[in-house]
Amino acid sequence: MKQFISVKDVTDINALAAKALAYKSNPLVDSKLGENKRIGLLFLNPSLRTRLSTQIAARNLGMEAIVFNVDKEGWALEFEEGAIMSGNTVEHIKDAGPILGQYFDILCIRTFPSLKNREDDYSEMFINQFIKYAGVPVVSLESATLHPLQSLTDIVTIKESIQNSPLGAGSKPKIVLTWAPHIKPLPQCVANSFAQWINAWGEADFVITHPQDYELAEEFTKGATITHNQDEALKDADFVYVKNWSTYTDYGKVYENDPEWMLTEEKLKTTHNAKVMHCLPVRRNVELSDEVLDSSHSLVTRQAGNRVWAAQAVLSEILNF
Ligand code: CP
């Protein structure tokens, strides 16, 4: 694998997920693979899970990991080609990128969308400029529109859960992605990415449910059944993935905050004793109720733990390229 920006960089999702689960069983089996290699983790936005799990994954492969909080500790970067830098930006990515490429063997970037201009966000300029100028493999730690390490983890967690359930390996689960209320406009990244990966995986009956006006980009959702009726969507579900996102068409808005969309134990009664997933962080009793998060339905802690093994599988593929 020469980079990891989206599911399009993966040739075999099942093989990559199997590799992640193999690392879970034997974390240090490839502890020499990344010896004398250095990985840079650049954060333009906050993180708990992505930052720590990727550091641990790199360490398990013998790499040195250096974290740089660009937003707080670095020079303000300019990404526009030909910019007249008379404003707040201090250093152009054209200058910083090749230097980072000399310092690191793999460069990982987290950068969120502005949620102000859809065309700008969906052009993925920030991560594409790092790819263009760094000259080393780039891994997305979440970009303006996608969160591939999260989505790989989600598939790893679903496969692991199926193996240990009455459904059994080889069965086709019903997976529901449901919108949840939130007080702030959030990116569409996790939902876009989850839809893109589940569609590409092709081993699920996949349903997306959200209020009117919360349609996601068709390039990611195409292939899924989409409904505004959450109760109907939840019927017979095996997995329910809960996530808020802001509007896509009239971009970055909060139109709706109806608490009726929050998943409860009552709503889960029509499912196949569904497992509930969320990428975290989660606003308790806004996005998801305590009763669900603290119940045996919840996979969220296992899911977050699996971030290590997904990141390790991806870094291993890049080191082996
Ligand atoms: N799910 C996720 O990416 O968590 P962090 O934002 O804490 O990294």
Residues 162 and 292 placed together within one structural domain of the fold: yes
The percent of residues in the chain predicted with pLDDT above 70, rounded, is 99
Name the residue with the closest Cα to ligand 1, atom 3. Answer: 50
Give mean pLDDT, residues 199-223.
97
> Does any domain span residue 2?
no
- b/e map 148-162, b = 16+ CB within 10 Å: bbbbbbbbbbbbbbb
Cβ of 41 closer than 6 Å to ligand 1, yes or no, is no
Residues 86 and 170 placed together within one structural domain of the fold: no
> Does any domain span residue 36?
yes
Q: What is residue 171's predicted lDDT score, i.e. its pLDDT?
A: 75
Residues 12 and 93 placed together within one structural domain of the fold: yes
- The tens digit of pLDDT for each residue in 158-167 reads 999 998 787 7
Question: Which phi and psi (to 5°) does residue 89 adopt?
Answer: -80, 145
Q: What is residue 20's predicted lDDT score, i.e. its pLDDT?
A: 98
Q: What is the mean pLDDT of the chain?
A: 96
Residues 61 and 130 placed together within one structural domain of the fold: yes
Q: What is residue 169's predicted lDDT score, i.e. its pLDDT?
A: 66
Whether residue 206 has pLDDT greater than 70: yes
Question: Domain span at residue 290?
Answer: 150-305
Whether residue 170 has pLDDT greater than 80: no
Cβ of 150 closer than 6 Å to ligand 1, yes or no, is yes
Distances from the Cα of 81 to the Cα of 97, 135, 137, angstroms = 13, 17, 21
Residues 250 and 134 placed together within one structural domain of the fold: no
Give residue for tokens 């993180």.
47
Cβ of 47 closer than 6 Å to ligand 1, yes or no, is yes
Q: What is residue 317's predicted lDDT score, i.e. its pLDDT?
A: 98
Residues 60 and 114 placed together within one structural domain of the fold: yes
Residue partners of 310: CB distance under 8 A and separation at least 6? 20, 53, 149, 152, 153, 156
Residues 15 and 70 placed together within one structural domain of the fold: yes
Q: What is residue 306's predicted lDDT score, i.e. its pLDDT?
A: 98
> Does any domain span residue 1?
no
Residues 76 and 54 placed together within one structural domain of the fold: yes
Give mean pLDDT, residues 171-186.
95
At residue 65, the 3 state secondary structure works out as strand
Cβ of 225 closer than 6 Å to ligand 1, yes or no, is no
> Does any domain span residue 217?
yes
- The tens digit of pLDDT for each residue in 102-159 reads 999 999 999 999 999 999 999 999 999 999 999 999 999 999 999 999 999 999 999 9
Residues 223 and 138 placed together within one structural domain of the fold: no
Whether residue 283 has pLDDT greater than 80: yes
What is the strand order of the sheet 38-43 is part of?
64-68, 38-43, 106-110, 138-140
Residues 228 and 100 placed together within one structural domain of the fold: no
For residue 14, the domain's CATH number is 3.40.50.1370
The percent of residues in the chain predicted with pLDDT above 90, rounded, is 95
Confidence class for position 257, pLDDT limits 50, 70, 90: confident
Cβ of 53 closer than 6 Å to ligand 1, yes or no, is no
Domain count, the chain: 2
Cβ of 307 closer than 6 Å to ligand 1, yes or no, is no
> Does any domain span residue 311?
yes
Residue to substitute in 41, 44, 50 for testing ligand 1 pocket (most ligand atoms within 8 angstroms of CB): 50
Residues 164 and 266 placed together within one structural domain of the fold: yes
Residues 35 and 113 placed together within one structural domain of the fold: yes
Confidence class for position 294, pLDDT limits 50, 70, 90: very high
- The tens digit of pLDDT for each residue in 27-68 reads 999 999 999 999 999 999 999 999 999 999 999 999 999 999
